[in-house]
Amino acid sequence: MAGGIHVGEQILAVRGAKKSFRRPSGDPLVVLESVDLSLREGELVGLLGRSGSGKSTLLRLIAGLSKPNGGTVEYLGRQVAGPPSGIAMVFQSFALFPWLTVLENVEIGLEAMGVAPSEMRSRALRAIDMIGLDGYESAFPRELSGGMRQRVGFARAVVTHPNILLMDEPFSALDVLTAETLRTDFLDLWSEGQLPIKGVILVTHNIEEAVQMCDRILLFASNPGRIMLELKIDLPHPRNRQDPMFRALVERIYVAMTARQATAATLGRAEKFPGTGIATILPRVSTNLFAGMTEAVAQPPYSGRADLPEIAAQLQLEIDELFPVAETLQMLRLAELEGGDIRLTDAGRRFAESEITEKKRIFAQHLLAYQPLASHIRRVLDERPNHEAPKSRFSDELEDHMTPEAAEATLRSIINWGRFAEIFAYDDDEQRFTLENPT
Amino acid sequence: MLRQSSPVAVQGARRGLSFYDIVAAALILAWILAFADSSRHMAQPLSVESQPISLSPWWLPLYALRSTMRMLAAMVASLVFTFVFASLAAKSRRAESILVPILDILQSVPVLGFISVTVTAFMALAPGHALGAELAAIFAIFTSQAWNMAFSFYQSLKTIPEDLKEAAASLRMSAWMRFCRLEVPFAAPALIWNMMMSMSGGWFFVVACEAINVGSTSLVLPGIGSYIATAITERNLTAILWAIGMMLVVILAYDQLLFRPLVAWSYRFRGGEEDETPQPRPWMLDVLRRSSLVAMVTEPLGRGFDSLVRGSRFPEAHAQPRREPDEPSPIGDKVWNAGLAMVGLAGAVYFGRYVLEAFPLGMIAEAFLLGLPTLVRVLVLIALASLIWVPVGVQIGLNPRLATIVQPVAQMLAAFPANLLFPIAVSIIVAFRLNHDVWLSPLMVLGTQWYILFNVIAGAAAIPRELKDASGNLRLKGWQWWRDFALPAVFPYYLTGAITASGGSWNAAIVSEWVSWGDSHLAAHGIGAYIAEATQAGDMDRVVLGIVVMIVYVTGLNRLLWRPLYALAERKYRMN
């Protein structure tokens, strides 16, 4: 028995759910590809993956906040069309109404159900009591710390006595200590059967959190979002993070994630956009993180090869932050990812060990050689007689392949990296690229 | 400090002229023309029998009350319009495509020119009764208040955070409950601020539209405005001073009893982190909060409202998934656009035929040429006012104690209807035989310059402490201090003030380029005087032409000068 509750009847069934959006060029952008999922009474299921892997999209399909383009979502045997009563949601950003007090925020869910005022008050007070918010009833959300705000979020969700609780990265906006307190408090209530809830779905990008809390983990892959691995966690509660079994599960997830990502990075991208190669969405990664990561891996005890969970813990990076850095280093041939490890290449080692001018030289070399968009911009600037080009020249080009927001983010990244490498300059007032760095 | 709110005229990311702008323009021109047409075809002069205005100061409080009631009625109308119009624009992509450009052009329609066109039509609604005239006045005040409120509410609806919308949907709130519990509270701070700005600006129009002659149709409504008009005809300077005093009392009361408590109350609707700076605590709000009498009235009202909100929930079967904006229907869009094009074309043909029939080319050219002196006046006077008030405002804003004293005074001055002061200025111009083209001009910014002052004060007061410390630490001095620190820091705030002032000045042109004192009329060359004169003569064609020319100038100025500047301020000079 995983939690304190008997695992029983199936309460939710997702079959072949698909979700896609229309791109400006007309062809659809698939964010979620044919996903199956079931939730039984007493189960806590985790959806784990990086941003853009479609896990939040799936959660919104279940919540009835958006409609699938294909497949079905069935709750208690009935097709979900619109937010069903009996499914409540906890949000990453808490989503409290800032103009309502704690008590009013908790009551509002009952108000929407049409509960009588007196019953509303007593049920809300009971929920506030249980979640540990006693004494804060008349406080406004802005007066509370993040942890207390999320407690209000929980109280608002459970006060309606939902069958299913959906949690969208509920702890990721909190500091480490607060998140841990809330997690254990929640697990205590859940495993003691005190919560009026039959099943929980938790979206997270924190691997250890998933292993600590869930009975079952669905690991998501990106581009397009899909489930790549299902993992049952049979460890008894409370789970100890130092337990070798716990560590082994964490390591297994890292291996799975690096294995898939490695193939996607080397094959997938070139394949998807033959001929151009510039149409890769680039993550916003600060150049400080490239230096910090390579330097950490180069030093003992790693000396050039590090276990990803270990380096992530040391640098205090979550996978949402870790993988973009590691993958960009891989794209620039400064590092390689395999078997849950990161290994520096020769160039990566030199990059880590040299001082700033040399670092910039190596970075520039690799950026121009291996990042098609950077070399494309540089080539255009070289070819033009005045060595200038407006930003729109490139954003128009990118928007053929991605959303305007993604194009803007990608250009922002390449501008940032290009500035560090000093391969081109950019004037934000004029919105134009030039070759002239101020001297 | 009160928060700044960006002016309507320059919001909206679009630049240039789109298909929708053109359709909107055609619709509005046709609409104005339809009003003018109905006025022109009115058979006999429609004058309202009303008792003559008494210049005795004892009557003034009653007149002031009448003016205030007119203002409040217009405010209620504006609120209803705001909720309906903005909700439509924010929730339907198709409606949005045309409603936003319409709003954009509507707010460049000169209010006082517009009333000349509408007044006869309204008076025809209730011939011989004061009701039609009241409606015309209220409609004119409404047109001076509604647009920026609607725009503010629309902007708020568009910026409600996605997570709050999802929370509302997943709590299964009905549309009505969402409106009461999410949309209105979220929009409240910006909307209340805009309501207050609207009312400030509104006094000017209340005063101006209580006594209007359109040809043989005359409109006299008992109020401060008609009192002043009577005083002008009788050259009674004492009565004018009484009216000014009364207006000061009204504005002070409005500021203390309504403005400050409402704005302070709206603070509870802000989101975000707790603010360490002490909040203003208007005494009136304290009185309202502590009074048990008030509580006796408001508590049942609140309970009633709550049950109204609750009673509106939808049964299970009606729960719909939120409509997603990414599923456009191309055919529906084509039909919609074709429909718009047809309506726009009809409007354009209606207006175009009228233009060809009514106006020889020379007349159009003359009107456009007359717009130039007004444009020059507006720009020169805004520049002069800026030269004076920006340095003063910065110095005041950097001194917190001084700022808390001067800021409310500047806001009150902005609310004070400057047209009450015109007779004094005019009597001086008459006495000294000064040049009309030059000396009538300052009247245009008499009331609007304060927007520059109080926005700059707010901007200087909002400069982060560390930036002030850094400028001291770097020993910035003299011109360098202004160029690198003070001017860039207040620029976005200054711009807000300057744009508001510019809009107000165009409106004021109609009453300030053409003024009278007793039976002597003073006129400057300009499009404002052109409209005023045509109104007096009852020449609807020229009034319409004048309005159109002014719309073209104001829209052009907004798009070519203010909007690019505002975009620059947003991009480059934002503090966060």
The answer to whether the pTM exceeds 0.80 is yes
Compare CB distances from A99 to B268, B273, B326 and report the shortest one's residue. Answer: B268
Compare CB distances from B167 to A91, A111, A160 and report the shortest one's residue. Answer: A91
CATH no. of B15-272 = 1.10.3720.10
Across the interface, whether the CB atoms of A143 and B274 are under 8 A apart is answered yes
How far is B26 from B23, CA to CA, in rounded Å?
Answer: 5
B560 three-state secondary structure: helix
Q: For the residues B356-368, what does the mean pLDDT come to? A: 85
Across the interface, whether the CB atoms of A97 and B310 are under 8 A apart is answered no
The pLDDT tens digits for B500-518 are 889 889 988 888 888 887 7
Output the pLDDT for position B423: 84
Q: Is the peptide bond before A224 cis (omega within 30 degrees of 0)?
A: yes
How far is A29 from B175, CA to CA, in rounded Å?
Answer: 31
- A228 and A337: one domain? no
Output the pLDDT for position A166: 95
How far is A349 from A332, CA to CA, in rounded Å?
Answer: 13
Burial of A38 (0-12, 13-18, 19+ CB in 10 A): middle
Q: Residue B331 to residues A420, B334, B336: CA-CA distances in angstroms?
A: 48, 5, 9
Across the interface, whether the CB atoms of B166 and A140 are under 8 A apart is answered no
The answer to whether A91 faces chain B, any CB pair under 8 Å, is yes
Could you tell me if B218 and B209 are in contact, meaning their C-beta atoms sit under 8 angstroms apart? no
- Residue B280 banded pLDDT, cuts 50, 70, 90: low
Across the interface, whether the CB atoms of B164 and A95 are under 8 A apart is answered yes
The pLDDT tens digits for B66-88 are 888 888 899 999 999 999 999 99
Terminal CA-CA length for chain B: 18
Q: Which of B162, B164, B165, B172 to mutate to test the interface with A (most CBs of A within 10 A)?
A: B172
- A225 and A79: one domain? yes
How far is B266 from B190, CA to CA, in rounded Å?
Answer: 9
How far is B24 from B105, CA to CA, in rounded Å?
Answer: 7
The pLDDT tens digits for A151-162 are 999 999 999 999
Percent of chain B topping pLDDT 90:
15
Burial of A405 (0-12, 13-18, 19+ CB in 10 A): exposed
Output the pLDDT for position A267: 41
- A300 and A246: one domain? no
Q: Which of B171, B565, B570, B573 to mutate to test the interface with A (most CBs of A within 10 A)?
A: B171
CATH code assigned at A311: 1.10.10.10
Q: Which of A60, A79, A97, A107 to mutate to test the interface with B (most CBs of B within 10 A)?
A: A97
Number of CB atoms found within 10 A of residue A394's CB = 21
A282 within a domain of the structure (yes/no): no
Output the pLDDT for position A36: 92
CA dihedral B243, B248, B250, B256 (to 10 degrees): 180
Q: From edge to edge, which strands make up the β-sheet containing A44-48?
A: A87-90, A164-168, A199-204, A44-48, A216-221, A226-232
CA torsion through residues B264, B76, B178, A135, sign:
positive
- Please state, rounded to an integer, the average pLDDT across all residues of chain B: 82
Q: Pick the residue with more confidence: B308 or A273?
A: B308
- Residue B51 banded pLDDT, cuts 50, 70, 90: low
Measured in angstroms, the CA of A113 and the nearest CA of chain B are apart by 7
Across the interface, whether the CB atoms of B170 and A67 are under 8 A apart is answered no
Output the pLDDT for position B401: 87
- CA B401 to chain CA centroid, nearest Å: 30
- A244 and A316: one domain? no
CATH code assigned at A38: 3.40.50.300
- Residue B278 banded pLDDT, cuts 50, 70, 90: low
Q: For the residues B150-157, what does the mean pLDDT come to? A: 90
How far is A296 from A439, CA to CA, in rounded Å?
Answer: 33
- A298 and A250: one domain? no
A360 within a domain of the structure (yes/no): yes
CA torsion through residues B83, B88, B90, B91, sign:
positive
> Which chain A residue shows the shortest CA-CA distance from B315?
A113
Q: From the CA atom positions of chain A, what is the Rg in Å?
A: 24
How far is B258 from B282, CA to CA, in rounded Å?
Answer: 10
Alpha helices by DSSP H, listed for B107-211, are 111-125, 130-158, 162-170, 175-178, 184-209
Q: For the residues B236-263, what does the mean pLDDT come to? A: 87
Across the interface, whether the CB atoms of B166 and A112 are under 8 A apart is answered no
Across the interface, whether the CB atoms of B321 and A67 are under 8 A apart is answered yes
> Which chain A residue shows the shortest CA-CA distance from B170?
A83
Contacts of A113 in chain B (CB under 8 A): 172, 313
A5 within a domain of the structure (yes/no): no
Q: Pick the residue with more confidence: B122 or B247?
A: B247
Contacts of A92 in chain B (CB under 8 A): 163
How far is A147 from A166, CA to CA, in rounded Å?
Answer: 18
End of a domain among A254, A279, A311?
Answer: A254
CA torsion through residues A392, A394, A399, A402, sign:
negative
How far is A439 from A427, CA to CA, in rounded Å?
Answer: 15
Q: Which of B548, B526, B564 is nearest to B381 (CA)?
A: B526
- A121 and A163: one domain? yes
Output the pLDDT for position A58: 93
Measured in angstroms, the CA of B402 and the nearest CA of chain A are apart by 30
Output the pLDDT for position A407: 86
Burial of B352 (0-12, 13-18, 19+ CB in 10 A): middle
Q: For the residues B466-477, what does the mean pLDDT come to? A: 84
Least confident range from A227-231, B207-211, B269-273, B502-506: namely: B269-273
Compare CB distances from B163 to A88, A91, A140 and report the shortest one's residue. Answer: A91
Least confident range from B137-151, B295-309, B329-343: namely: B295-309
Across the interface, whether the CB atoms of A97 and B164 are under 8 A apart is answered yes
Q: Residue B226 to residues B91, B240, B426: CA-CA distances in angstroms?
A: 43, 11, 18
Read off the tokens for B8: 């309507």
This complex has an ipTM of 0.79
Compare CB distances from B310 to A64, A111, A140 and report the shortest one's residue. Answer: A111
Q: For the residues B548-554, what does the mean pLDDT come to? A: 91
Contacts of A89 in chain B (CB under 8 A): 166-167, 170
Find the domain containing A233 and state its range. Answer: 10-254
- Residue B235 banded pLDDT, cuts 50, 70, 90: confident
The pLDDT tens digits for B451-466 are 899 889 988 988 888 8
Output the pLDDT for position A320: 78
Contact pairs from chain A to chain B, CB under 8 Å: 101
Could you tell me if B500 and B410 are in contact, meaning their C-beta atoms sit under 8 angstroms apart? no
What CATH class does B358-576 carry? mainly alpha
- A249 and A295: one domain? no
* Rounded average pLDDT per 10-residue block, chain A, 439 residues: 59 91 70 90 91 86 90 90 90 91 91 86 92 90 91 93 93 89 92 89 92 93 84 89 90 81 44 50 87 89 86 82 87 86 90 90 91 90 89 86 82 92 88 77
Across the interface, whether the CB atoms of A98 and B272 are under 8 A apart is answered yes
- A197 and A343: one domain? no
Output the pLDDT for position A156: 93
Contacts of B171 in chain A (CB under 8 A): 83, 108-109, 112, 156, 160
Q: Please tell me what DSSP assigns to residue A225.
A: B
- Residue B312 banded pLDDT, cuts 50, 70, 90: low
Output the pLDDT for position B346: 86
Across the interface, whether the CB atoms of A113 and B572 are under 8 A apart is answered no
Q: For the residues B112-123, what does the mean pLDDT come to? A: 80
The domain total for chain A is 2
- Residue B271 banded pLDDT, cuts 50, 70, 90: low
How far is A82 from A242, CA to CA, in rounded Å?
Answer: 43
Name the interface residues of B facing A (CB cutoff 8 Å): 161, 163-164, 166-167, 169-174, 177, 181-182, 185-186, 188, 268-274, 306, 309-311, 313, 316, 319-322, 324, 326-328, 571-572
A272 within a domain of the structure (yes/no): no
The answer to whether A427 faces chain B, any CB pair under 8 Å, is no
Return the exposure string of B61-93: e unless at least 16 CB atoms fall within 10 Å of the residue's CB, then b: eebbebbbebbebbbebbbebbbebbbebbeee
> Which chain B residue shows the shortest CA-CA distance from A430?
B568
Output the pLDDT for position B42: 56
Q: For the residues B371-381, what does the mean pLDDT come to? A: 93
A226 within a domain of the structure (yes/no): yes
- A101 and A160: one domain? yes
How far is B180 from B308, CA to CA, in rounded Å?
Answer: 10
Output the pLDDT for position A41: 92
